Structure 1
Amino acid sequence: MPVHPEGTPCWADAMFTDLEGAKRFYGEVLGWTFGDSTARYGHYTQATVDGRAVAAVVPPMPGQEGQSRWCLYFASPDAAATAEKVRRNGGDVLMEPMRVGDFGTMCLAREPSGAVFGVWQADTHEGFEETAVPGAYCWAEVFTREPEKADAFFRAVFPYRTKDIVNDADDAVDFRMFAVGEDTVLGRMRMTEDFPPEVPSYLNVYFTVADCDTAVAAATRLGGVVRFGPMSSPFGRFAALSDPQGADFSVIDITTTEGELPRIEDA
């Protein structure tokens, strides 16, 4: 059985024009250290926490320079088959399945409402070696103005079942969760008018921190921007940030919770 079942978020990476600047920023904010890189794989550089792989950074390929963004990859036993399901269900394949040495096979895709994501068929590189500990990936959410499109797409492409968070005090809250077996692996939030109209649908990646406020202070001191929070919730204390090169991400301290867990119903 694979380490990461189909449809489970299994890896995250981002391109940075200033790679050394990204290393300094995330090294201080998330406690990452970085491995060696070679020109053979475009100076793709893994980030580690206590020697365990948690993400990667890479300089952009020629012609791909621009604002940095985090990309979340979903596990697949067959990247080519997943790419076909993307097409059949109204998505776009932005990069055809491509073998990456003996590490695995990747492709990039966009769901019908516009959020970009990756697919990873593992070989020697199975993905996250650690999750939900300080410095490691913890959670992700699809933010979209067209949740019906996104919901139908993700359920058709991956073996998800869905659950809704029921907010009896605010019917306007539209938050759905996707599960693989008994494990909830992804959230989906309807974008409200609070989001500027030019902001497209996107996947927001959360990294775990030991203390949310300390991480936010470090990020802002190093040139990051706070987009939301810090705020306490039943799931943890979190904040949404942009790094100095424009890549959006969130941090969450899952040990500091406040309030009762919401009611959840099968969708």
Structure 2
Amino acid sequence: MAAYAEGTPCWVDAMFADVEGAKAFYSEVLGWTFGEAASEFGSYTQAYSDGKAVAAVVPPMPGQEGQSAWCLYLAAPDVSATAAKVKAAGGTVMMEPMQVGDFGSMAIVADPSGAVFGLWQGGEHEGFEKRTGPGAYSWAEVYTRDAPKVDAFYPAVFPYKAQQVIDDKVDFRTYRLTGDPVLGRMAMGPEFPAEVPSYVNVYFAVADCDEAVARATKAGATLQFGPMSSPFGRFAALRDPQGANFSVIDPDTTEGEMPALADA
């Protein structure tokens, strides 16, 4: 049986023009260590927390230079079949399915609102080795400017069931697998500058949100939001020194009642 069920977030990576700078930043903020760069795979370098793989960084390939961004990968038992579903549901395949040695197969796609994410069919590399605790991936949300199209798209591609948060102030829903939420969807309102496109925001777990924010800003990050307490944990949104958005969350420090949900 695959390590990650279809549609489950299973990996994250990011391209950085200054890979050494990125390694220094995330080592300081999240306590990551880094392995050797795999020269045969474009100097792809894995990050580790407690000796277990949690992410990777890589320099941009020629022609792909631009603002850095974290890319979330969703598990796909057949990456070619899932890429076909993406196209059929109104999404875009930006990088066609390709084999990555014995590690697995991947594709880069975008939902109908333009939010980019990856598909991963695990081989020797199944995905996150560490799934919980400080330094590990914790959560992700699709920030979208076209919620109706996105809400039709994701359940058409993956076996998701959707639940909407009952709140007049925010348009937020979760996509679930076997009852467990695996991905959030936030409709972008006027509080988001017009030039900010739809995107996927990833959260990394930390032991103390405020301390992590202090380390991040000292290391050159920009605080965009928070720290704020919630029923899900205390969290903050940041932009790293090379422009990649990410969030940190202390899931053990919670406040308030869980929101009411309705099947969507």
Relative to the length of structure 1, the TM-score reads 0.98
Q: Does 1:66 align with 2:63?
A: no
- What value does the CA root-mean-square deviation take over the aligned residues? 0.7
Shift of 1:164: 1.2
In structure 2, the residue matched to 1:21 is 21
CA distance in structure 2 between the partners assigned to 1:131 and 1:38 by the alignment: 23
**Is 1:261 aligned with 2:258?**
yes
Q: Which residue of the other structure, out of 192, 202, 205, is the alignment partner of 1:195?
A: 192
Tell whether 2:99 aligns with 1:99: yes
1:19 Cα deviation (Å)? 0.3
**What is the identity percentage for the equivalent residue pairs of Structure 1 and Structure 2?**
66
Match of 1:222 in 2: 219
Q: What SS is found at the alignment partner of 1:251?
A: strand
What residue is the counterpart of 2:152 in the other structure?
152
Instruction: Tell me the matched-pair count.
Output: 264
SS of 1:252's partner is strand
Separation in 1 of the partners of 2:176 and 2:126? Answer: 20
After superposition, give the CA deviation of every residue in 1:95-148 in whole Å (9 maximum; x if it has no partner).
000000000000000110110000000000000111231000000000112101
Per-residue CA distance 1:16-68 (angstroms, 9 max, x = gap): 00000000000010000001113101110000011111000001111111110
1-structure distance, mates of 2:162, 2:231 = 20
Structure 2 unmatched ranges of 5 or more:
none
Return the alpha-carbon distance in structure 2 between the equivalents of residues 172 and 242 of structure 1: 25
SS in structure 2 of the partner of residue 188 of structure 1: strand
Q: Deviations over 1:160-197 (max 9, x none)?
A: 00111112xxx131111001112210000110100001
Give the corresponding residue for 1:88. Answer: 88
- SS of structure 1 residue aligned to 2:148: helix
Give the distance between the partners of 1:128 and 1:151, measured in 2 at CA.
Answer: 26
2: CA distance, partners of 1:93 / 1:172 = 34
Deviating beyond 4 angstroms after TM superposition, the runs of 4 or more aligned structure 1 residues are none
2:208 and 2:45 mapped to 1: Cα distance? 26
Superposed, 1:2-41 pairs within 5 Å as: 2-41=2-41
What residue is the counterpart of 1:75 in the other structure?
75
